[in-house]
Amino acid sequence: MKRRFTIFMAIFVVMSVVLVGCGGDKSNTFKVGLEAGYPPFNWTQLDDSNGGVTIEDNAEYAGGYDVEIAKRIAEGLGKELVIVKIEWDGLLPALTSGTIDAIIAGMSPTEERLESIDFSDIYYTSDLVMVVKKGSKYESAKSIQDFSGAKITAQLNTFHYTVIDQIDGVIKETEMTDFPAMRVALQSGIIDGYVSERPEGVSAVSANEDFVMVEFEDGFKTSPEDTAIAVGIKKGSDDLKEKINEILSKISEEERQEIMDKAILNQPMEQD
């Protein structure tokens, strides 16, 4: 009897190990972290219209360019896409801790970030612009130096905030947590403008007729990796990186622009 019990326990232990081994790394989900507050790259909406995806542990949905790219990647990996809404400052910790599998959130592969995580190939490239109030003296600016004396800000923990220092005599306001907060600050006159990437600038103008996007003849000096956007993945995830790059390589530049155009068109009119 003892022998049978011992054999049974041995089989049970082996099966438990096998089942655990099949669980972790071979999950059927692809968990993507984003802030869902950076239109047209990503936003929060109330239903699944225009391809919105349910946000984990939330009654809301996420939409936008990043979400569409995440769909393509999840499909290519043969996994179910799970969107996790995380504040910008918490995305890297969530990735390194294993809470999410990837960051697809309009994030640039800067040298500083590359010290803690890896990135895929580029899936979008943009330019820096300034968003200002219609009718302000900065509406017709051609150079970043035209913003000397202006109250300018940008998003927390982004290179957008550091480039403000290139403007002589600028009043560099405290960095803000997200773009909805900056839009509110601009609307109320707390700031004269904020630094953004062109798609967000187009999105801001589309959502609010009181805003104007300023594109520069003499603009900010940036490095290529600053204005590029890639998928953030955990260090050492070479196999996942290779698979994601293969999937991205099948999305043509024309198709990527079409996805962005649709995202700008479909964005909610207000982002609170």
Question: Residues 233-239: contacts with CB within 8 Å, 24+ apart?
Answer: 233/95, 233/101, 233/102, 233/103, 233/117, 233/118, 233/119, 233/120, 234/95, 234/96, 234/98, 234/101, 234/117, 234/118, 235/96, 235/116, 235/117, 235/118, 236/118, 237/118
Span 29-58, mean pLDDT? Answer: 96
Does 16 have pLDDT greater than 50? Answer: no
Question: How confident is the model over 150-195, as pLDDT tens digits?
Answer: 999 999 989 999 999 999 999 999 999 999 999 999 999 999 999 9
Mean pLDDT of all residues belonging to the chain: 90
Which pLDDT value is given to residue 258? Answer: 94
Which pLDDT value is given to residue 225? Answer: 85
Does 8 have pLDDT greater than 50? Answer: no
Output the CA torsion sign for 15, 79, 229, 63: negative
Output the CA torsion sign for 151, 155, 157, 162: negative
Question: How confident is the model over 189-214, as pLDDT tens digits?
Answer: 999 999 999 999 998 998 899 999 99
pTM above 0.85, yes or no: no
* Burial class of residue 146 (count of CB atoms within 10 Å of its CB; 0-12, 13-18, 19+): middle
C-alpha span between 14 and 11 (Å, rounded): 5
Structure tokens at 168: 């002589």
Span 214-234, mean pLDDT? Answer: 94
Share of the chain above pLDDT 90, in %: 82
What is the full DSSP assignment across the chain?
-HHHHHHHHHHHHHHHHHHHHHHSTT-SEEEEEE-S-BTTTBEEESS-GGG-EEBTTSSSEEESHHHHHHHHHHHHHT-EEEEEE--GGGHHHHHHTTS-SEE-SS----HHHHTTEEEEEEEEE--EEEEEETTSTTTT--BGGGGTT-EEE-BTTSHHHHGGGGSTT-EEPPPBS-HHHHHHHHHHTS-SEEEEEHHHHHHHHHH-TTEEEE--SB-----HHHHEEEEEEETT-HHHHHHHHHHHHTS-HHHHHHHHHHHHHHS-S---
